[in-house]
Structure 1
């Protein structure tokens, strides 16, 4: 398969979630409509549907598509199979920090990180150069880099900026509520409901859906700088606020429930309730983030 097959695999997972809530029929079954719903190309949808059909996962009729059987855990691609090369680099770097192998001041090479990530050195260099603008890594001579520390003050500023941007974006949801908007919101709701019922074994899959949900909210600002801000949010929240691996399932389960409250309020066209729920969600995330970075208090 092509190197970009992670996009098809990610799309196949999303389609399984979408179809698990019932048959997709009439206009919604067209490849063009599915491409709009999942924000991918028609080519990607065509390939993903073809692969699912070959695997016997779906049955395609003239005017509808439905599952051949309820999806099982092994019908889905796991997290490592559906992330991009850039996401893979981020994952390897942050996992090393998360498990205590690499701390502030640690120096490493582009070659080492590329080898561990299974990507090219050029991809690693591009990632780190972009990442350095957040002052979390620092360039060293001869392809070297140095990790800098994440301070509570910095994390708090990120959380505060996130709240300002996303709550401002919530104010712009009303005017944007055309048919395409409602279809996207409904699709996100269905995918959240499906994943929420499978969190015992798929909780790691929440990260991508979380990023997609918050990215969709931020897209209403129509501001490229706001979208770029998602990179630093990914670093701070995904790898520090969930620093204890044992707590990851707990945090993800709580977060997806909060997302559902927001999406269900939007489905009811209650923007005020959705905005309140978003405010509570962002506040909870901020509190958990700061707590995770505070020094442990001896018993």
Structure 2
């Protein structure tokens, strides 16, 4: 089995789709799967071969069909599906979240590179994303000052996110009904209903589904600036949400139900309905973020002196 992150990520995505099918159901063609999963046919063939080896699919009567539904043990762990850059990103945010990290502290590029087992170039590229947003400030001797997340910052970011996402929905509803994003929306909606049915135990899975849903919408704009903005901001905000565990299940349930309303509006292709549902959901998300900032390590009252060392 191929050992690269692209293959493993595609394999897991394929399992997600198979989980919504019944044993005996036929699989789409290699070309259709490649289009839906946004990978090459070579990767799709490798994934299908691996699925056959695991007894999940089989070739029968000139077609491939589902032999059994995937189980949790069939999936590759998330860290194995990430690129090197994404892996550094996750480890960096975990470090901020779990450590005694405060606004006003200095970061050293070389020290971070050694800690995360990567190059200083990769670290600089990652930190530069947050510099652009005003969260980090470059200092002499490869140091970076972390300026923290304030309510003012969050408000400004959400104003831009709302503008970008509403623009992306316009692009989404202009796509033909048989296009890949609309088919992906079908799968995402099914996953929402499946999660809702098991919300009492599975509610921690919602952030990943939330990321998948909003990323799909932003990607439909085919605008690199919109997508780069969303990817950077969503990484930060999903970690920020984790600071506040109060009513986490209820918050996730509320957001999930708002997603379903949002999806219903997208299916109507009615710009006014979409505008209303999108704005309502982002207002809820903004309020969640602000509450998390109030209790988290980035809060303004946690700022230490500018010269403090990490």
Q: Which residue of 1 is the match for residue 157 of structure 2?
A: 158
CA separation of 1:193/1:83 partners in 2, compared to 1, >3 Å: closer, same or farther? Answer: farther
Query: Matched residues in 1 for 2:250 and 2:85: separation?
Result: 26
CA deviations on 1:249-295 (whole Å, 9 max, x unpaired) are 65445433432333345456666555433222211101111122236
TM-superposed CA distance for 1:34, in Å, is 1.0
Query: Matched residues in 2 for 1:204 and 1:92: separation?
Result: 19
Secondary structure at the residue paired with 1:229? helix
TM-superposed CA distance for 1:230, in Å, is 0.9
TM-superposed CA distance for 1:122, in Å, is 2.5
CA separation of 1:105/1:203 partners in 2, compared to 1, >3 Å: closer, same or farther? Answer: same
- Equivalences for residues 20-31 of structure 1 within 5 A: 20-23=19-22, 29-31=28-30
Q: Which residue of 1 is the match for residue 256 of structure 2?
A: 256
Query: Matched residues in 1 for 2:252 and 2:146: separation?
Result: 27
CA RMSD of aligned residues (A): 3.1
- Equivalences for residues 57-136 of structure 1 within 5 A: 57-61=56-60, 62-66=62-66, 68-136=67-135
CA deviations on 1:89-131 (whole Å, 9 max, x unpaired) are 2222222222352111222322332344343332222212233
Query: Matched residues in 2 for 1:43 and 1:227: separation?
Result: 27
Stretch of structure 1 that moved more, 70-79 or 199-208: 199-208
CA separation of 1:261/1:155 partners in 2, compared to 1, >3 Å: closer, same or farther? Answer: same
Gaps of 5+ in 2: 297-310
1:11–1:48: 8 Å Cα contact kept in structure 2?
A: yes
1:218–1:227: 8 Å Cα contact kept in structure 2?
A: yes
Query: Matched residues in 1 for 2:49 and 2:14: separation?
Result: 12
Query: Matched residues in 2 for 1:197 and 1:12: separation?
Result: 25
Q: Which has the larger radius of gyration?
A: 2
Gaps of 5+ in 1: none
TM-superposed CA distance for 1:160, in Å, is 1.6
Q: Which residue of 1 is the match for residue 55 of structure 2?
A: 56
Q: Which residue of 1 is the match for residue 137 of structure 2?
A: 138
Query: Matched residues in 2 for 1:115 and 1:198: separation?
Result: 41
CA deviations on 1:24-82 (whole Å, 9 max, x unpaired) are 966x621211121122222322222222222223334332331x333332222333232
TM-superposed CA distance for 1:238, in Å, is 0.8
Question: What TM-score does the superposition give when structure 2 sets the normalisation length?
Answer: 0.79
CA deviations on 1:213-239 (whole Å, 9 max, x unpaired) are 212212343322111211342244212
Q: Which residue of 1 is the match for residue 281 of structure 2?
A: 281
Answer 1 or 2: higher relative contact order, Cα 8 Å, separation at least 6: 2
Q: Which residue of 1 is the match for residue 304 of structure 2?
A: none
Q: Which residue of 2 is the match for residue 240 of structure 1?
A: 240
